[in-house]
Structure formats: C-alpha cells, structure tokens
Amino acid sequence: MSLADEPLTRAAAVREIGIVLFDDVEELDAVGPWEVLAYWTLNYPQDGYRVSCLSRDGRLVTAAKGLPLGAHHAIDDAPALEVLIHPGGQGTRRLLRDASYLDWVREQRRTVPLMTSVCTGALVYAAAGLLKDRPATTHWGALDELRALDPSAHVHDDQRWVDDGDLITSAGVSAGIDMALHVVARLGGRDRARAVRRGIQYDPAPPT
C-alpha cells in the first residue's frame, strides 16, 4: 500500500514534510521542491500534508550563492516527519565528515517513511549507509563520488530521479522540481501533480 492509499481520518494529524537546510546548500535544490510542495499543501489542504524547513539550530543558513534561507524548526525540535528531503550543494562535503549529523540521518531512516534527496544530498545518504545495495542517482558531476562513497550502490547516470519505494534520489539542482512533483503524484495522485505543475507553470523546453 502506498502512502497515498492510507486514508486520513478526521482526527489524524497533518502529515509533515521536512526540507533540510544547511550552509552552502544549493538554492534551487531546496527552493525548487519547496515551491512544488508549498503550492500543493497550501492549495489542497484536504490532502493532509504540510511542508516546513529544518536547520541544525533552527536559524538562518546562507546558501551556496549567498541567499539567506530561514528554517521553521531546529532538527531536534521538528515534528515527526512523513517525508524528508535532503538537498545538495557544496555544504554536503562538510556533512560527509560530520559523524553526529550522519547519526541524525540514520535516525531519520529508522523513523521517516519516505526519504528523498536532491543532487549531492545523495552523497550524505551514501555516507550514512542508506544507499547500500540500492539504486540511486545524483548530480552528473558527482556520480563517481557517489560510487566511491558506496561501491554497492547501483548508480544510475541517466535518470532525473530514482524511486526505490521508501527512498527517492534525484539528479542535480532543477531535477528536484521533477522529483517533488513525483512525490506529489505518489502522495496525492497524478491529477493533483498535474494541477500543481500547471499552477507553478512548470513546462520546461530546451533553449533555442
């Protein structure tokens, strides 16, 4: 049974989606999924989901190109999550060496039904052991790095996202928008995802 198949009762709590923020996160890795998911949850509250952003201490972070991004919660104070989205960016390289942070990621794996990543967020998942013997992808420039971090991972270099049930990884930067629309389709249905895509007028075409 998919997450969308389980009906919400009147008394059921809103299901929480969290997007992790950290210094040197790639802006669109976080803001792209935010746009998709915020449009969905604000315009279709009857679906029963809410999205928020988390940072380690609940404070602002400075993204890779200098944009300040605010968090709603510190990671230790965040509500129980149904979905976790881990963006990428240069800041992930520090996280790969941060034992306490990787422990936190592993704890999320034990409690969060659906873990997703954008771009080099997959490297953090690999460093935490989440991708062992599993299919995954990341930014094209980090595919070899992903293979080196976990040689057992089945790395796909030609897909925008890879859905392996309770784990979804996506390719770089703008691919997070596609992945987030796929999450909407999984949780809210394809018609809802189409409505969100139209609402944000996302219809990419190659440059001319």
119 annotated active-site: yes
Amino acid in the structure at residue 197: R
Rounded (10°) angle between helices 175-188 and 27-43: 30
Question: Choosing from 36, 75, 102, 119, which is the catalytic residue?
Answer: 119
Burial 32-62 (b: 16+ CB within 10 A, else e): bbbbbbbbbbeebeebbbbbbbbbbebeebe
User: Per DSSP, what are the bridge partners of residue 52?
Assistant: 18
Q: Which of the residues are catalytic? A: 119
